[in-house]
Amino acid sequence: MSTVYIHWPFCLSKCHYCDFVSIPCTGNEDFAEWGKLYKNVLLSYMDGFGLRDVSITSIYFGGGTPSLVPQWFIDNLLNTVQKHCKLVEDVEITLEANPRTIDSGKARDLRDIGVNRLSIGVQSIIDEDLQMLGRIHSANDAISCVLDMTEVFSNVSIDMIYNRPHQTVASWQEELRTVLQLPVNHVSLYELIIEDGTKLKHLIDSNMLPSISDSSEFFENTITIAEECGFELYEVSNFAKMNDYSQRPDGAIFRTHPGGNPNYGKHNLSYWRYEDYYGIGPGSHSRISFNKKPEKLMSEKIAIAQIEDVQAWREWALTPRFDVETLSKDDEFKERTIMGLRAMCGICPATFDKVTKIKYGLQNKLAKLEENSYIMANADGVVLTYAGILRLNLIVRYLTEEFSI
């Protein structure tokens, strides 16, 4: 199983907190040229890395602001993938959108060409905070957009950011309760990270904005309110609308549903399960399995990172040649652990070879974590408990440090 991520690097303006590969658009972007470049890279993956031979479970248009591109551009890329790859019957096709960059007419056009999931960058429903974050929409714009899009798409997710400068836990509780009343079936709730080189970092360093608070209280309240409003945490930042199911009485924070909750984001789950993904566009990354053999416990992976500079990427994509890094067993162990423990899929120690287990003292470490009720372990693998998810970074660091006697 594999996924495809297509990164569109242009936005109407750069948000103050953003350190992604994105630049303000000029209004003169040559979509026909960009379409050819994306197709070049896509076909190169197909010919060089087996993309034609795998089943595609999801396609994700991210950014940047992909809702700025015309419908025919998305249609052409989807047709290319569909023509040359094997899409599963219920393939998830997501497009990121920002309020004021999409309307009901465009949404229907996107739905008609195969897009079946929309992810809307709301971030806040407080006007002053939207301005502080550098967003170009208002709270009313955001709410109206969500309501309009849920009339067109049955699968809508929204993004929010918490622990913003000046924000209190009480104000976040009120804001979150309001947002979770909107008719969406998925929310991504991210803690604000102040990244070097961003305008927000400069404003805080210049004492024009206060530093953000300790995030633990925000996070705990986020989980509590989301579950009260009918959303379950299935990854540290992602919540799916609950369906009827029997809760496991074992204290694990990540519960499972018979057959899985259909509101989980398939594309995101593929990352946490460490499945293959093919990134296309400036700054995109890929992880691709190779030398798959039945006797190998872990499939070996190669990593590919594309050029971040947008103009340099345009030149490179004319005749793309990939810089390939073969991941070591240590790299793969650490990535599997970091990704898996973020989500309800957890990690499966049985997939790690004997040398890796001994090198990192995995058996003893897992026993200690279970003794302290930070993990739940069974034949299927290891997942974090509520107490464990609050200590995620510490637990990951503990497990991925080499064992010493």
Give per-residue pLDDT as tens, 160-209.
999 999 999 999 999 999 999 999 999 999 999 999 999 999 999 998 88
Residue 70 has pLDDT above 50, yes or no: yes
Residue 314 has pLDDT above 80, yes or no: yes
pLDDT of residue 244: 55
* CA torsion, ordered 167, 171, 175, 176, to nearest 10 deg: 90
Q: Which amino acid is at 347?
A: I
Token pair of 357, please?
């287990």
pTM: 0.93
What does pLDDT average to over the chain?
Answer: 91
Q: For the chain, what is the radius of gyration of the CA atoms?
A: 21
C-alpha 402/C-alpha 397 separation (Å) is: 10
Element (H, E) at 58: strand 55-63
**In 3D, which of 385, 133, 60 has the Cα closest to residue 249?**
385
C-alpha 234/C-alpha 148 separation (Å) is: 27
CB 229 within 8 A of CB 186: no
C-alpha 122/C-alpha 135 separation (Å) is: 9
Interval 115-133 mean pLDDT: 97
Token pair of 13, please?
């303006």
Give per-residue pLDDT as tens, 15-35.
999 999 999 998 889 999 999
pLDDT of residue 208: 87
Place of tokens 């990427």: 313
pLDDT of residue 299: 65
C-alpha 398/C-alpha 131 separation (Å) is: 39
Percentages of the chain per state (helix, strand, coil), in multiples of 5: 40, 25, 40
Q: Categorize the per-residue pLDDT at 293 as very low, low, confident or very high, splitting at 50, 70 and 90.
A: low
Give per-residue pLDDT as tens, 249-270.
444 555 544 456 889 999 999 9
Burial status of residue 18 (CB atoms within 10 A of its CB: 0-12, 13-18, 19 or more): middle
CATH 3.80.30.20 residue spans of the chain: 2-272
CB 63 within 8 A of CB 22: yes
Tell me the CATH number for domain 2-272. Answer: 3.80.30.20
CB 152 within 8 A of CB 107: yes
Largest CA-CA distance found in the chain, in angstroms, rounded: 64
Token pair of 42, please?
């896509």
What length is written for the chain? 405
pLDDT of residue 250: 45
Residue 287 pairs in a beta bridge with 277, 303
Token pair of 198, please?
């961003």
Q: What angle do CA 346, 294, 328 make, to 5 degrees?
A: 60
**In 3D, which of 163, 182, 159 has the Cα closest to residue 230?**
182
Give per-residue pLDDT as tens, 138-155.
999 999 999 999 999 999
Interval 62-90 mean pLDDT: 95
Burial status of residue 8 (CB atoms within 10 A of its CB: 0-12, 13-18, 19 or more): buried
Interval 382-403 mean pLDDT: 92
Interval 296-303 mean pLDDT: 75
CB 375 within 8 A of CB 386: no
pLDDT of residue 247: 46
Give per-residue pLDDT as tens, 329-338.
999 999 999 9
